[in-house]
Chain A
Amino acid sequence: MSVRRGMRCRKCGAPAVINMPQHKLALCEEHYLEWVPARVGQTIKRFRMFRPEDKVLVAVSGGKDSLALWDILHRLGYAVEGLYIDLGIGGGYSAQSKEKVQAFAETRGGLPFRVVDVRETYGCSIPELAQRSRRGAKTCSLCGLVKRHIMNRIAYEGGFAAIATGHNLDDEAAVLMQNTLHWQAGYLGRQAPVLPSTHPHLARKVKPLCLMYEREMAAYSLVRGINYIYDECPYSVGAKTIFYKELLNQLEGRSPGAKLHFYLSFLKAKEEGTIRFMEEEEVQMQNCRRCGQPTTAGDLCAFCRLWERPEMAVCGPAEEFEA
């Protein structure tokens, strides 16, 4: 019988908990817990996401990526505050994810975070909003619109330098693949680890996990004992993103590092100008008369227009607008 020594940590020789062929690196628990924040810290500096003295808002959903991001930024010593948006999604999804966020903050000595309850604040939960929407707007796109609005509002009111989200490399590579297959030039032009602020009411958006494999983030959460919500949002089941992630994983199996290379070479080609996308035309931006966020169509932004429609009357009046 052959004796296999098994895979060992490159730093100390203890049994490895994770093997990362994409980095030709295997690590034990202890060294993995050091390696992850170091790599995220380098990513923050490499893309000049924010400075050590900046106040950063972390959007947390209760999932593995956003909770791990919050944990890592806190460990790196950044001044972070969590933002949980209660979407009011049923089947226990919103209730459970909120519990995970609260428990996480508590077990770490009471990390600061805010909760914005969509229903309490605006009168309607996301599913109710989708139900009442006349044109049968997709729940996920409405949800995206509402979340963006709230994140921008909280970042503006709280004086945050940036909003950090938990998008990982697999998320970014899947979106990149999808946009490339459809030659979505507009989206490709904008996809980046940092989205600068173009208006005082629009926050800077950063993705500190953009070079971390999704597998690496799940492993970090497990080893670190982060209790995250494992179930998917019921509305995202069967999302197209999963299909692209599976395709990319097949590629990764043939050629370790393929996902990272795909994303990084895209960023490099844009930076060096070997691929270029047309500059977006300078569109005339107006300030929304209700919320102050910029809009290109009329005097109300897309978010405020949502609540203006007659069928939404049952939802109002929203407290945000009373001031």
Chain B
Amino acid sequence: MVKLILRDKTWELPAGMTVRDAIKKAGLDPHAVLAMRDGKLINEETLTRPGDVITLISVISGG
């Protein structure tokens, strides 16, 4: 499984899909978040691996 975290929300998803598909599965817009793994930014085509913890950063602000 893969864990996706955005602020205080988490999702558990099967490994093997792209980061973009995982974001969509969580019901989020890939344009509105960035994904980090092991403290590094990763592009949305990256494949998720079992045990990954992916932190999502929201990019939209109100202003």
Q: Which A residues contact B (CB, under 8 angstroms)?
A: 4, 6-7, 15-19, 26, 29, 63-65, 167, 170-171, 214-215, 217-219, 222-223, 230, 232-233, 236-239, 241-242, 245-246, 249-250, 252-253
Contacts and interface: CB of A to CB of B under 8 A. Distances in A.
Contact of A215 (B36, B47, B59): B59
Grouping DSSP codes into helix (H, G, I), strand (E, B) and loop, the B interface class, with mixed when no group exceeds half, is loop
B42 to A, nearest CB: 7
B43 interface: yes
B21 to A, nearest CB: 13
Interface in B37-63: 40-47, 57-63
Contact of A214 (B36, B40, B60): B60
Contacts of A242: 60-62
A7 B62 contact: no
Given A214-B60, A232-B62, A253 B45 contact: no
A217 to B, nearest CB: 8
A170 B60 contact: yes
A253 B31 CA distance: 8
Nearest to A61: B63
6 contacts: A7-B43, A19-B44, A214-B61, A218-B34, A236-B61, A242-B60
Contacts of B60: 170, 214, 242, 245-246
B41 A237 contact: no
A99 B57 CA distance: 21
Contacts of A246: 29, 32, 60
Contact of A236 (B34, B40, B43, B63): B63
B7 to A, nearest CB: 9
Nearest to B46: A6
A241 B62 contact: yes
Given A222-B41, A239-B62, A253-B29, 11 more contacts: A18-B41, A167-B63, A170-B60, A171-B63, A214-B59, A214-B60, A215-B34, A215-B59, A232-B61, A236-B63, A241-B62
Nearest to A240: B62
A256 to B, nearest CB: 10
B43 A16 contact: yes
Given A215-B31, A218-B34, A253-B29, A17 B42 contact: yes
A193 B51 CA distance: 45
Contacts of B41: 17-18, 29, 219, 222-223
A17, A19, A63, A230 — most chain B CB neighbours (10 Å): A17
A147 to B, nearest CB: 12
B57, B60, B62 — most chain A CB neighbours (10 Å): B62
B47 A222 contact: no
A7 B32 contact: no
Contact of B46 (A7, A167, A237): A7
